Amino acid sequence: MKPKFKSSREVILRSRAWAKAVKFYGQVLGFPVSHRSAGLVGFETGNICLYVEKGRPHGPVFEFLVADVSAAKATLLAAGCTLIEEDPRVPRCYLLDPFGLTFNLGQAPAQRRRKQQMKR
Q: What is the DSSP letter of 108?
A: -
Give the predicted TM-score (pTM) of the model: 0.76
pLDDT band, very low/low/confident/very high, at 58 (cuts 50, 70, 90): confident
- Position 27: which residue type? Q
- Segment 16-43, tens digit of pLDDT: 999 999 999 999 999 999 999 999 999 9
pLDDT at 111: 52
pLDDT at 1 over 80: no
Confidence check: pLDDT of 118 > 60? no
CA distances from 78 to 17, 75, 107, 114 (A): 35, 5, 20, 28
pLDDT digits (tens, 9 = 90+) for 67-82: 998 899 999 999 999 9
- Give the β-pairing of 6-15 and 61-66: antiparallel
> Predicted confidence band at 12 (pLDDT cuts at 50, 70, 90)?
very high
**What's the CA gap between 25 and 20, in Å, rounded?**
9
Q: Across the strands, what pairs with 37?
A: 40
Whether the Cβ atoms of residue 61 and residue 22 lie closer than 8 Å to each other: no
